[in-house]
Amino acid sequence: MYDFNYYTPTKVVFGRDSVQQLGALVKAQGCKKVLIHYGGGSVKRSGLLERVRSALALEGIRSVELGGVVPNPRLSLVYEGIALAREEGVDFILAVGGGSVIDSAKAIGYGAAEDADVWELYEQTRTARACLPVGVVLTIAASGSEMSMGSVITKDEGGIKRAYNDDLARPKFAVMDPALTMTLPDYQTASGCVDILMHTMERYFTAGGTMEITDSIAEALMRTVIRNARILHDTPQNYEARAEVMWAGSLSHNGLTGCGNDGGDFASHKLEHELGGMFDVAHGAGLAAIWGSWARYVYDARPDRFRRFAVNVMGVADTGSDLELALRGIEAMEAFYRSIGMPTSLKELGIAPTDQQIEELAEKCALACGGVAGSIKKLRQEDMRNIYKMAR
Ligand code: NZQ
Ligand code: ZN
């Protein structure tokens, strides 16, 4: 077990019609002008944007708006948002949407708070000293960005997708009404469930110290997401299942499932970010497509850990060697992914990278990780190339 800091400053307002509390939540921030940030149109179609506008207007809170955030959110829109925030004297950003909108809001927050190029943060050439406060109305359970320190932005030229992590950008509040996620396409619901699972699996599969309480929370979380993802696959309008998954999404990436371990592996995420940057795939689906190959590449380094996962999470019968059980656990997870319509290879994901593109993916991934990724097994560029090839 390692020492740890656990910091979750986000106020969570969870449940049916929680959007009704939005006006009071924003007012309590004491801000002068809010930037309402949203995506490609789902919040207009569902009527949520209108409800948000009314909630702010009722409290006499002034606002400006910037929509158009796309999945794998782009740096160009972040720059636009920074310019708008400065021009309008914005001092609070309200993200109404999913991970892409929240991450774009965080990036605008960093950029508007400091007179320097925000991309330098994502290139890891400096650290932030300030960020405008961000609040969230969540519309998809997936990224965990509503409580996380992360923000992931894609630079338009070259499709370079990079993350920046800093407590400064953890949202002040997150309004979470599971009913808001009922308009999601099934593919996005399933993709979100994979991302939630992966945020816990990345921390669970570690070669470093572990803690029994953290492992037990992680296993319960993973079992809960698997059970409810299956329910949502058959009955997407099930409120209870939506709620279980939504809360799991926040707990999976707010630091809880990493307490006491070594910070996790996160190699699958690093590998997927390059796929997102080059091919613009949905993040969770990209993770599902790469995970099995990653797992088969690394499991012999910690078969005991994979055995525990197989038995305690996937319900595999506890007989056989560590290596046998590890493989059965990986197969069971892949079968689950397929059962909810998620891919388990790049082909199923709908992409066919050439050898040259795989080389480029591996090169960019290694560069982004400073040469080495992962905990359970340390992966270098050649390992990354091998995993991408296995995933084809
Ligand atoms: O743009 P709109 O029209 O709103 O449509 C979105 C988008 O097309 C749609 N959608 C969202 N809520 C909806 C809805 N459609 C109907 N009804 C609703 N209620 O869903 C699509 C996907 O939205 P997006 O925000 O991209 O999804 P997600 O939350 O999965 O976010 C993905 C992004 O988060 C990053 C990913 O890399 C990716 O860029 N991540 C951020 C993390 C963080 N900040 O901590 C950690 C994660 O590991 C992840 O990397
Ligand atoms: Zn993720």
Residue of 210, 43, 1 whose CA lies nearest to 139:
43
CA of 8 from ligand 1 middle (Å) equals 21
Query: Whose C-alpha lies nearest to ligand 1, atom 41?
Result: 143
Stretches in the chain below the pLDDT threshold 70:
none
As a whole number of angstroms, the distance between CA 148 and CA 106 comes to: 11
Q: What angle do CA 107, 52, 195 make, to 5 degrees?
A: 50
Summarize pLDDT for 118-140 with one digit per residue, the tens: 999 999 999 999 999 999 999 99
The minimum-distance atom of ligand 1 relative to the CA of 72 is 39
What is the SS3 assignment for 378? coil
Its pTM stands at 0.97
Which atom of ligand 1 lies at the shortest distance from residue 198's CA? 48
Give me the half-sphere count of Cα atoms (radius 13 Å) on the Cβ side of residue 259. Answer: 16
Sign of CA dihedral 228, 229, 231, 232: positive
Please state, in angstroms and rounded to a whole number, the distance separating the CA atoms of residues 84 and 61.
17
Structure confidence at residue 207 (pLDDT): 87
Give me the pLDDT at residue 176, please: 98
Residues in contact with ligand 1 (CB, 6 Å cut-off)? 39-43, 71-72, 97-101, 103, 139-140, 142-145, 148, 150-152, 180-181, 183-184, 188, 192, 195, 253, 269, 276, 283
List all residues 6 or more positions away from 296 whose beta carbon is below 8 Å from its beta carbon. Answer: 327, 330, 390
pLDDT number for residue 110: 98
H helix intervals, the chain: 22-27, 42-45, 48-58, 75-88, 99-113, 119-122, 186-204, 212-234, 239-253, 267-279, 283-298, 303-312, 322-339, 346-349, 355-368, 381-390
Task: Write down the pLDDT at residue 208.
Answer: 84
* CA distance readout (Å), 331 to 141, 233, 310, 335: 25, 20, 9, 6
The pLDDT of residue 63 is 97
Q: Report which DSSP code applies to 373.
A: B
